[in-house]
Amino acid sequence: MSTNFEFIDIKRIEPETKPINARKIEFGEIYQSHNLESVKEQSSRCLDCGNPYCEWKCPLHNYIPDWLKLAQEGSIHEAADLCHETNSFPEICGRICPQEKLCEGACTLNTGYEAVTIGQIEKYITDKALSEGWKPKKLAASYSKKTVSIIGAGPAGLACAENLIRRGIKCTVYDRYSQIGGLLTYGIPEFKLEKSIVIKRREILEELGVKFVLNCEVDEKKMSEINNKSDAIFLGLGTYESIKGNINGQDKEGVVEALPYLIRNTEYLMSEDDAEKINFKDKKVVVLGGGDTAMDCVRTAIRQQAQSVHCVYRRDRENMPGSVKEIKHAQEEGVQFLFNSQPLEIIGNGKVKQLKIGETRLGEADDSGRRKPVLVEGSERILDIDKLVIAFGYEADPQNFIAENNIDVSDRGLISLENQDYKFQTSNPKFFAGGDMIIGSSLAVHAIAHGRDAAKEIIKFLET
């Protein structure tokens, strides 16, 4: 019987991770599976505190205490139904969200006890329900005569499609790649998110009625065709242009950008036709950057059997933007971190041989509120390297059809949504947009929230 004081006697326990030796050579997910009894026990630690900070910190505002209660009772299918009221892909968010900065970071138990394992329980609920034949329910008995086209099969586009189709709006999703998911599939390695999870979601969406047109590059001509047969269009194309960093010598052979590196490796592992990975076996590798993309790169290099892997980051560990969990996993797997270190020059005669770095200290805060790294004079030193990965993040690179359709963009190339009649509506009333292409490179959970909410606004637009 629950007393709401279970958290005193029951400690936070996450599923075991695979042994380090296995993790360093395998690309599968590193966590072992929960079982129902452990999920019930961990769920019982929730205080159901009345003003659920976890729920409000979550970008999707998931009904976390409520589905934790259902999980505690063993009502997994009912918990899955409740998860899907706010989140199109809870099993994905459970795997890739930085919970320690979101729901778990806001958990009341953090004031003296460890947070409830919200992410792991969220993942278990949908995994278990799907394995038992559960499926998300349609919310409309019939289809509308209206049709929506969605450009981009990433998290924003897929969430938009899922919410539209369940509410009776037919939709077609277009994407340049051969599989759905966008960066979920091609940018996030399998040790965080196995591709079978995304493929299962494709099956569910297609069964609901979503149509996918893949291997399709949407240019001005194709967009004109799509526009002529659509009542509304949602743009969820993300930000794919790498931030370069402007380091002297970065055009040398052996310097690669993070996204092509991750995409090529994923395509190779998925056995796509003619796919060749960028292989770092037996190489001395350095990755520049401190976000989740940099962590994906260093951990991929480890699994490719690199001779050594260093991560160079210009601030200290406490100021790294990446997930605390991912940094911890990288260190466990053998990645060496060089904090307070700034790249100065890539050295080599046409081919990278060395990297000059300098020590930094944190100075005054910049416009973003973060303390700016300041180079310590005379602190330069040289690293011998074979390969260098630039992982400074991504920025917008608007497609030509954006301007052709009179869609306003900001100075940063992001789509502007100001002063429109509906949320997520662009300056062209027929076009809506969400995800990274309106806020810049960010978390998948924000894109999922945008896709969900944009779908509801599109339905209002179609009803006028």
Give the helix/strand (H/E) hosting 328.
helix 324-332
Interstrand relation of 431-433 and 387-390 (parallel, antiparallel or unpaired): unpaired
**pLDDT score at 384:** 98
The half-sphere exposure of 231 on its side-chain side, counting CA atoms within 13 A, is 17
Dig out the tokens for 287 from the structure: 């990755």
The half-sphere exposure of 29 on its side-chain side, counting CA atoms within 13 A, is 17
Nearest residue to 461 (alpha-carbon basis) of 208, 233, 150, 156: 233
**pLDDT score at 274:** 64
CATH code of the domain occupying 147-239+396-463: 3.50.50.60
User: CA 308 to CA 305: how far, in whole Å?
Assistant: 8
User: CA 31 to CA 188: how far, in whole Å?
Assistant: 16
Q: Do 64 and 52 meet the contact criterion of CB atoms below 8 Å apart?
A: yes
> Hey, where are the domains in the chain?
6-20+33-131, 147-239+396-463, 242-393
| 99 contact partners, CB below 8 Å, separation of at least 6 | 105, 115, 118, 119
Dig out the tokens for 455 from the structure: 């779908």
Q: Do 165 and 208 meet the contact criterion of CB atoms below 8 Å apart?
A: yes
Question: What pTM, to 2 d.p., does this model score?
Answer: 0.95
For residue 404, how many other CB atoms are within 10 A of its CB?
A: 13
Q: 304-359: per-residue pLDDT in tens?
A: 999 999 999 999 999 999 899 999 999 999 999 999 999 999 999 999 999 999 99
**pLDDT score at 369:** 84
Dig out the tokens for 425 from the structure: 């509506």
Q: Do 315 and 340 meet the contact criterion of CB atoms below 8 Å apart?
A: yes
Q: Which class for 258: exposed (0-12), middle (13-18), buried (19 or more C-beta within 10 A)?
A: buried
Q: Do 316 and 290 meet the contact criterion of CB atoms below 8 Å apart?
A: no
The residue whose two tokens read 């992410």 is 119
For residue 133, how many other CB atoms are within 10 A of its CB?
A: 7
**Class of domain 242-393 as given by CATH:** alpha beta
DSSP for 236-262 reads -----EEP----BTTTSBTEEEHHHHH
| 124 contact partners, CB below 8 Å, separation of at least 6 | 33, 34, 39, 71, 94
What is the residue-level pLDDT of the chain in tens, covering all 464 positions? 555 667 778 999 999 999 999 999 999 999 988 899 999 999 999 998 888 999 999 999 999 999 999 999 999 999 999 999 999 999 999 999 999 999 999 999 988 899 999 999 999 999 999 999 999 999 999 999 999 999 999 999 999 999 999 999 999 999 999 999 999 999 999 999 999 999 999 999 999 999 999 999 999 999 999 999 999 999 999 998 888 888 999 999 999 999 999 999 999 998 866 667 899 999 999 999 999 999 999 999 999 999 999 999 999 999 999 899 999 999 999 999 999 999 999 999 999 999 999 999 999 988 888 899 999 999 999 999 999 999 998 899 899 999 999 999 999 999 999 878 999 999 999 999 999 999 999 999 999 999 999 999 999 999 98
The SS3 of residue 232 is strand
Contacts of 108-117 spanning 24+ positions with Cβ under 8 A: 108/47, 108/49, 108/53, 109/7, 109/12, 109/45, 109/47, 113/7, 113/8, 113/12, 114/11, 114/12, 115/12, 116/12, 116/42, 116/43, 116/45, 116/46, 116/54, 116/68, 117/12, 117/13, 117/14, 117/42
| Burial profile 312-329: b = 16 or more Cβ within 10 angstroms, e = fewer | bbbbeeeebbbbebbbeb
What's domain 6-20+33-131's architecture? Answer: Orthogonal Bundle (1.10)
Output phi, psi for 174, to 5 deg.
-110, 140
The SS3 of residue 67 is helix
Give the helix/strand (H/E) hosting 159.
helix 155-166
User: CA 112 to CA 427: how far, in whole Å?
Assistant: 49
**pLDDT score at 458:** 98
Backbone Cα Rg of the chain: 23
Dig out the tokens for 240 from the structure: 């794919």
Are both 6-20+33-131 and 147-239+396-463 of the same fold? no
